[in-house]
Every structure is written in structure tokens, then in C-alpha cells.
Chain A
């Protein structure tokens, strides 16, 4: 018996998994001893498209399976029984250390077919809900509290306590909301869970609904994730058909319905009060808290809102007990956390690790280190609300307290790795540009303060910075922090403050020496050809403005007045003869 699974999550599809699937379909047509199915993202996104082959119980994980390789695997491995070592992931030298991971939230992603509810049930799905319905609401909340689970949406607030507040609010109508807005640009943990294991999120919402006394739930998912939305809709429909979502669930008196709301492209709608405004069909603008959602949330009813990953952990906790969860992690940060590794990293993808693991282990152990063996400079954690942790702090344990102490935040779990070619001033400018564009405009300091900070940073990257700029930035940053209503404004200065804290010399190089040490800021770099030039003419051909002249086998030169600093020559030269 041969089983083939193709990973068809967004990452797989972007890499061409649909074509691989079609190819395999035609190849195995009419052969009843070979089955083909789809699965979610297993987390090794850098090797997509990925397929898992199971032959008589032995599993082989193949990477880079385009149509050609699919045919090769079919002929050589399936038919002739000879594994193709160079494409194998679990045997090749690019071995990805799954052992260092502990998969609770991602346990089913890349394992089951997310479009078939029976597969979720077969691996123990909805057992947590069943268990919850057999105990009292108070016991469910006590279990979640004892597990030590903290919200994975960014702030890290105790989930059990939040549920308790919502439960204690007396009202005939309450809501559960799943925050699937995943706004951090450069993070994709929630996407992967929604696409690869949608039922785990539904199960978590229902357990929450039972515990707080709600019978209706909303999933607010960003419109940029069409596949996640489709998988969720399918999952809800299947669960309704099976009687798991709807009335009198598992023979109890508990009823629960779930709706999906699509976002419409506004980062601030990830903030809980803005999100509820958006569900109500309004502009998504945050409002003052209190009243907290637990007292007055969606349509002014008590509401509990949790992140996708938080909810996806709940089913496991109920099934396995609070102790199984709280013995993982550190004293204050329990359990596991999913991180999205991206940027200048070798093995980009998703990893789920125990809280407290050293950062180094994640980036160099599991992530395989820096792409092209460049020098590691920093890791950006927490997106626009977070900060940059420099190479010198690589031994920091990954837990809420330790990461916050560096000035960054664990946030939702995005880790964008930066190398020696990344300019820290440019990175700070990038994030402020982001928050400035996404500010809802309600608070003066968030609306205008971010704009002024952006102007200063832009000026610095253009070589027009002045000495006082760093102090003005710090001053403004603190004012924006103090005078903003919601987390967007309160945390917008973090990328600036952490880069100034750890990379002040780069700011000074831009301002005083008018140099960008990383060679990123266009206005501050000049391209030059050194003696290493052998006159291959490649750069001359690559230059779009014909700024390079020179004859074959002779030293070439760049006419600086024509150079637009696009870097085409720099990227083309094979002899490292061009400097910047």
C-alpha cells in the first residue's frame, strides 16, 4: 500500500504544489493500491512543494517536488523501490531538526487532510470538547488557568483569567471571537494553523463558548488569506453536518454556531475593540478600555476574544490535562510557541518550540543559520510592535519576560532574521512607515507623531540627517508611546528605540559620515569597480543606464553621474570586483 500526501497550503501552492498534485493524479490513475491526498503546511516552507510518501508503513519526506521530480519519484521510488536521496528531507544533509521541536498547535498541520473532518477525529480531535462538556464550566476554566496558557496574540495575558471575566459577566447573550487577522507582516503561524488544522480552532472556540456561556462565535480572518477562509468554511460546514457545531452538541444542552467575517485590509483591525467594530460593519477604530470586551464587547455584549494559536492549544490542554501543558516551558511562560522564521535564514518556515529555548537554538539550530553564510546581525521579533534583538543577545531564552527585557516582544511569533546586508535605520524606517500608514488617525500623537518620526528617519537614510535627530526621535518616541490610545501607537516606537539602543553607531554613520555601512540606503552608497575586474563585460551588459564602460579583458569603470544605484552590476559580478 502506497500513500502520497501533497502539502497544499499557501506556501506549497506558491511553489507549485497544485501542478505536482495534478501530475501525480495522472500518474497514479487507475491504481487502487496508491492513494493520493492533500495536507497542510508541515513547516519546511523553504523546501516546498513537499510530499510525504508512505510505503508499507515507512514514511519518506520529499522536498522540491516539482512536476519533473514528482515523475522521478514515481518511477524510481514507487515503482522501482529506490529512494532518491538528494530529494529526501529526512535523510539528506539538510536534515531539519524536528527533535528540537515540540508540536502541540502544529501537531496535525502537514499530517492530516484539513478538508476531511474524519481525519481530525481519527487523531483524537474533538476529544477535548467532549471532555469539557462532561465537567462544569468552572472546571474547564480551572484547567485552562492551571495550564498556564497565555494569549498568543501578543500581550500574553492569562487565557484562563480572561475566560473567567467573561463567564462572570451576567448576560443572556455572549460571544466568542477568534482573532485571525494576523497583521504582523512577515508572520504566518495563524495562516498555517487555519489552513492545516481548522478544526482545532473551532474546537477551541467551542470549549471557550461552553466555559463562558456563549452560544455564538465569530472568526475574523484577514482577506489576504483566501485559502484559510475556504478551509474554515468547509470545516464549519462539515462540523455542522456531523452535529458537532450547532444544537445539543454531543447530547448535551450546549449549542454553538460559528460565523466567518472577512477583514478588508486594515492592520489596526487586529486590535480587539477595532476588530469588533469591523464585525459590526463600521470603520475599525479602537476605543477606550474599560469597558473591556468581557463586560461590553461585540454589540455591547460580553465577549471573549482570543488569538488562533491560543484557541488551537485549548483542545490539547483539555484532552491531556493542565499538568501535561504546564510542565513544558519556564516558570512564567508555559507550553509551546509557534514561530515563523523568515528573512535571511536558511530554513525558513514554521517551528514550534518549548518556551524558554535559547534564541540561538531556534535560529542556528532549527533554522540552520544565515543564508549564504553571511554574518548574523539581528532578529526582528514582534513585527511593527516589536524590536530588534542584536547578535550579542543570541543566548536570550525565548519567553515573554526575557524577550521583553531586551526591548522587543514575543508578539505573535514572527522572527525576521537580518544579516550584515540589512541596514538597521532602514528597518526602523520600514516599520514606522508601516505604522504610520496603518494608524487609524484617532490619536494626534499616533497620527502625526509617527509621520514626523518617519520624516526624520527618511532624512537620515537620505544622508540629510543632523546631530539632534537621534534625540528628537527618542523624545518623540516616548511621547507617542504615552499619548496613544491603543497598542498600535503605544508600540509603534519600539522598532526605533531598539535600533537606537543596539545600533546607535549605524545611525551615527548615516548622520555624521553620510555612509550606510550595510550598503542599503541608495543615496549613501557609491558603486566602484576594483582591480579584481577581469573585464568579462557582464556588469556592462547588466547596467540599465549604460553607466559602465570598458573593453573586453580590461578594467571597467562606472560613470557616477549616470549610475542610478540599482545594484544590478554588484549582483551580476562573479569576481567580487564591485564594491559599495
Chain B
């Protein structure tokens, strides 16, 4: 069984800078390995999302044809799981934890604050393509609640007045890169 770790691919892949044709080529290459493996649809969608950033119709149709599955089935799976996104995501995904522990320790207030600071609602992306706001139901750091996760960084015991500072630290990261 070839288990292809999407995270490894993401690291090797310079996908963001590639053209659609190159992305489809890459995806096609990986899907050919998955083709005869039972139950590989979810893994395939993981890979597709890593390469494209999200799952637009054309990608869903492509996956369906390569795996020889009906489009409706692929679409059904892609929309069932919250990990898969049908829309482009920002460079940074802000996940406010609304698990029970975070909820009772003020997660909701943090969510309101992030919404206000970014001017977007859950599931939306800022017009500059920097931030996407999501909620997450527990990341397992409950004893340090409330928790906000930005990409791979977990911020613990967050107070709502720290939100601007946390968001700002990523903007600085972006301007440093440029």
C-alpha cells in the first residue's frame, strides 16, 4: 500500500507558483498510484487539496475521472468532511477552538473579536487572501483553553485583547518575506 503523505508532497511541491496544467499533471501522476487501491478517495482528495489549495468543480471532476468514480460520489465525499474546502483559502487559517473546554473559558468572545478584527465570518477569507476564519472543535490542548490555532501554531490561554497582536505577527511575517 502506498501511503502518500500530503504534507510531504506539500513540502516538496512549489504548487502555488505552478500553472493549472502543471498542477493537474502532478495530481494525475499521484492519482495513478491510487487508482486500484480500495478506499483511496479521501486520500486522493487530500492530495488534490494540498496541490490546489481547495477543491473547485474542475478538480472534483478530474479526480472522479481518474479514479473511475461517479462525480456525484466524489462530490458527496468532498462536501461531507469539514477538512475539504470548496473555496480558496487564505495564506493563514485562523482556527478558533470552540470545543467544550474552550467554549466555557471564553472561546466565543475570541471568535467575536477575530470576526470584528478581520471583518469576515466563519468560512470566509479576507479580500487580500491572507486570512481564512474557521472554528475547530478541540485540538487536544483543553487544559490551556481558550486556544486559537493559526496554521500550525497553537496559541494558548488567549485573551481577546491579544487577538490584534497575534494577527499582526503574521502580517509582519508576510512583509518580512517581501
Contact = CB atoms under 8 A, between A and B. Distances in A.
B140 A416 contact: no
A308 to B, nearest CB: 12
Interface in A502-545: none
Interface in A163-213: 182-188, 191-192
Contacts of B139: 10, 224-225
B140 A182 contact: yes
A284 interface: yes
Contacts of A262: 42, 46
A299 B156 CA distance: 41
Interface stretch (A242-250, A263-271, A325-333, A481-489): A263-271
A279 interface: yes
B84 A185 contact: no
Given A10-B139, A185-B137, A46 B144 contact: yes
B83 interface: yes
A430 B41 contact: no
A224 B100 contact: no
A104 interface: no
Contact of A266 (B38, B73, B82, B154): B82
B100 A416 contact: yes
Given A185-B99, A281-B42, A282-B77, A340 B142 contact: yes
Given A281-B38, A282-B77, A185 B100 contact: yes
B41 A282 contact: yes
Interface in A274-329: 278-284, 299
Contact of B138 (A13, A187, A233): A187
A264 B147 contact: no
Contacts of B38: 280-281, 299
Nearest to B156: A14
A102 B19 CA distance: 58
A48 interface: yes
A14 B141 contact: yes
Given A281-B39, A299-B38, A427 B104 contact: yes
Nearest to B100: A186
Band of interface residues on A? 35 or more
B101 interface: yes
Contacts of B112: 566
A58 B46 CA distance: 48
Nearest to A423: B104
Given A14-B156, A45-B144, A343-B105, A265 B100 contact: no
Contacts of B43: 281
Nearest to A266: B81
B117 to A, nearest CB: 12
A362 interface: no
A10 B140 contact: yes
A431 B156 CA distance: 23
B41 A191 contact: no
B143 interface: yes
Contacts of B143: 11, 45-46, 48, 188, 340-342, 348-349
B170 interface: no
B1 interface: yes
Interface string B130-154: 0000001111111111010000101
A422 interface: yes
A259 B138 contact: no
A575 B54 CA distance: 51
B100 A342 contact: yes
A463 interface: no
A260 interface: yes
Contacts of A283: 76-77, 80
A364 interface: no
Contacts of B144: 11, 14-15, 45-46, 48, 348
Given A265-B81, A342-B100, A344-B105, A188 B140 contact: yes
A217 to B, nearest CB: 12
Contacts of B46: 262, 264
Nearest to A9: B140
A567 B108 CA distance: 13
A409 interface: no
Nearest to A345: B143
Nearest to B139: A224
Contact of B98 (A185, A299, A567): A185
A284 B100 contact: no
B155 A14 contact: yes
A262 B102 CA distance: 24
Contacts of A353: none
A15 B138 contact: no
Interface in B55-95: 73, 76-77, 80-84
A465 interface: no
B126 interface: no
A434 interface: yes
Contacts of B42: 261-262, 264, 278, 281
A338 B100 CA distance: 18
Most chain B CB inside 10 Å of its own CB: which residue of A186, A284, A344: A186
Nearest to A16: B156
Contacts of A340: 142-143
Contact of B84 (A264, A281, A342, A431): A264
Contacts of A422: 104
A418 B104 contact: yes
Nearest to B40: A281
B74 to A, nearest CB: 10
25 contacts: A11-B141, A15-B156, A45-B141, A183-B137, A185-B99, A185-B138, A186-B142, A187-B138, A223-B83, A224-B136, A224-B139, A262-B42, A264-B42, A265-B83, A266-B80, A281-B40, A340-B142, A342-B101, A342-B142, A342-B143, A343-B100, A348-B142, A348-B144, A416-B101, A566-B112
Given A186-B138, A225-B139, A281-B42, 19 more contacts: A11-B143, A11-B144, A14-B144, A185-B99, A188-B138, A192-B140, A224-B136, A224-B137, A262-B46, A264-B46, A265-B82, A280-B39, A281-B40, A341-B143, A348-B101, A383-B100, A414-B100, A434-B137, A567-B109
| Nearest 9 Cβ contacts at the A-B interface | A186-B100, A348-B143, A45-B143, A185-B99, A264-B81, A342-B101, A281-B41, A265-B82, A342-B142
